[in-house]
């Protein structure tokens, strides 16, 4: 089985949809059990809805090769929903004895450790995701010792190695056999996900664009739960990662900054804000004057120009309502990862980006 940490509409319309489509194509794909890590009472209905036999809807809406498309898929890869708050013993049991793959998407702050998380005893769940995962991995080491592949989908550069490092930090001071097992038997894949998922369908489901990418870096011992046209195996995912993080996501955060600064309408969408000629001109100037030259300095100018063109077409998708208020969450952290990290990487002057970074510094 696949254990998925995170109930987000993104995973519903990305990984879970791919798994469903692979199964429909005749592949032997394990079922998904979704785990709500936050214990949020507001999302309890979503957790229960994941167990519905009829699955949940994903609407793919937008443009492909310039032509409008809309299709509705009833996703049935997810068969069960559990909550860390109420189902922890069952989660531990599944992790030790039944899980073949782990998928996670715990948000931009998902890798933050809580100072209260100490030790690996799985009797009660830790507060942070990384510490929970360390508890579960230790329980698996003790209980079965079976190999495992972890596929993190958080938008963190080097998400696999970083998550491995966090788990190892949680395990400091434990028996060295656990750390040896972790290194030898657990693959922390390095991945990149890319799809705009614009709105939810309640209680479970989502509306998404046609474009989708799940780039996964090759590694010794790596196994995948399925093959799919949107899944790309690469020797290095850094080029995909840089383009997505520092063009599409950077552009989103730049629009969120404008939206906040100008106190624009609460429900404004990416498409609507770019209908303002002033905003569009400034975004074009940012891409042309700071972003593409930064990529060019790293030998990726041509790729960046092509990706900017693709990104603007995705932003202007007339069939998606992607609210900027949703993009603006955790804004300061996103500015660091999308803009400050870009300047650190390129070493090029970028006054527009530098001004935003300075304003959002802690």
pLDDT of residue 244: 95
Alpha carbons 14 and 58: distance in angstroms, whole number: 10
Sheet strands (E) in the chain: 2-5, 32-36, 56-64, 67-75, 78-83, 101-104, 148-152, 186-188, 191-194, 197-200, 206-208, 213-217, 231-234
Strand partners, 71: 60
Alpha carbons 57 and 17: distance in angstroms, whole number: 10
Q: Output the CA torsion sign for 244, 286, 299, 308.
A: positive
pLDDT of residue 23: 98
Alpha carbons 177 and 325: distance in angstroms, whole number: 47
Strand partners, 207: 59, 199
Per-residue pLDDT of 183-229, as tens digits, reads 999 999 999 999 999 999 999 999 999 999 999 999 999 999 999 99
The token duo for 87 is 């189902």
Cis peptide before 203 (omega within 30 of 0): yes
Residues in the chain, pLDDT under 50: none
Alpha carbons 258 and 160: distance in angstroms, whole number: 32
Show the DSSP H helices in 105-249 as ranges.
129-143, 159-170, 176-185, 238-243
pLDDT of residue 41: 61
Is residue 81 within 8 A of residue 7, CB to CB? The reply is: yes
Contacts of residue 241, defined as CB under 8 A and 6 or more positions apart, other chains included, come to 157, 192, 215
Domains, the chain, ordered by start: 2-235 (3.40.50.720), 238-360 (1.10.1040.10)
**Tokens 């068969």 identify what position?**
79
Alpha carbons 349 and 353: distance in angstroms, whole number: 9
pLDDT of residue 112: 83
Q: Output the CA torsion sign for 329, 330, 332, 338.
A: negative
Alpha carbons 2 and 32: distance in angstroms, whole number: 5
Does an H or E element contain 286, and which? Answer: helix 277-286
């Amino acid at each position: 089985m696949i254990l998925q940490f995170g109930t987000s509409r993104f995973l519903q319309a990305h990984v879970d949809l791919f798994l469903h489509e692979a199964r429909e194509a005749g592949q032997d794909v394990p079922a998904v059990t979704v785990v709500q890590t936050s214990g949020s009472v507001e999302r309890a209905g979503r957790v229960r809805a994941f167990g519905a036999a009829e699955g949940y809807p994903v609407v793919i809406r937008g443009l492909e090769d310039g032509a409008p498309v809309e299709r509705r898929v009833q996703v049935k890869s997810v068969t069960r929903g559990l909550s860390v708050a109420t189902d922890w013993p069952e989660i531990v049991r599944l992790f030790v004895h039944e899980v073949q793959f782990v998928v996670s998407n715990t948000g931009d702050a998902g890798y933050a450790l809580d100072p209260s998380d100490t030790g690996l005893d799985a009797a009660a769940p830790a507060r942070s995701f990384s510490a929970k995962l360390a508890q579960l991995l230790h329980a698996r080491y003790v209980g079965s010792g079976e190999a495992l592949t972890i596929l993190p989908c958080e938008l963190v550069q080097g998400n696999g190695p970083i998550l491995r490092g966090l788990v190892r930090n949680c395990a400091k001071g434990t028996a060295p056999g656990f750390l040896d097992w972790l290194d030898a038997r657990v693959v922390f894949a390095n991945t990149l996900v890319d799809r705009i998922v614009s709105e939810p369908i309640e209680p479970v489901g989502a509306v998404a664009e046609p474009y989708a990418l799940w780039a996964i870096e090759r590694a010794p011992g790596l196994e995948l739960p399925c093959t799919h046209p949107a899944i790309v195996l690469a020797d290095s995912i850094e080029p995909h990662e840089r383009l997505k993080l520092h063009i599409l996501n950077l552009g989103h955060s730049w629009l969120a900054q404008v939206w906040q600064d100008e106190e624009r309408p609460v429900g404004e969408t990416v498409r609507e804000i770019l209908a303002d000629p002033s905003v569009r001109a400034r975004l074009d100037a940012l891409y042309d004057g700071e972003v593409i030259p930064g990529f060019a300095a790293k030998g990726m100018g041509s790729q960046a120009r092509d990706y900017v063109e693709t990104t603007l077409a995705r932003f202007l998708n007339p069939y998606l309502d992607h609210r900027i208020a949703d993009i603006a969450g955790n804004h300061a952290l996103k500015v660091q990862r999308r803009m400050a990290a870009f300047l650190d990487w390129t070493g090029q002057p970028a006054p527009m980006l530098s001004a935003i970074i300075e304003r959002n510094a802690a």
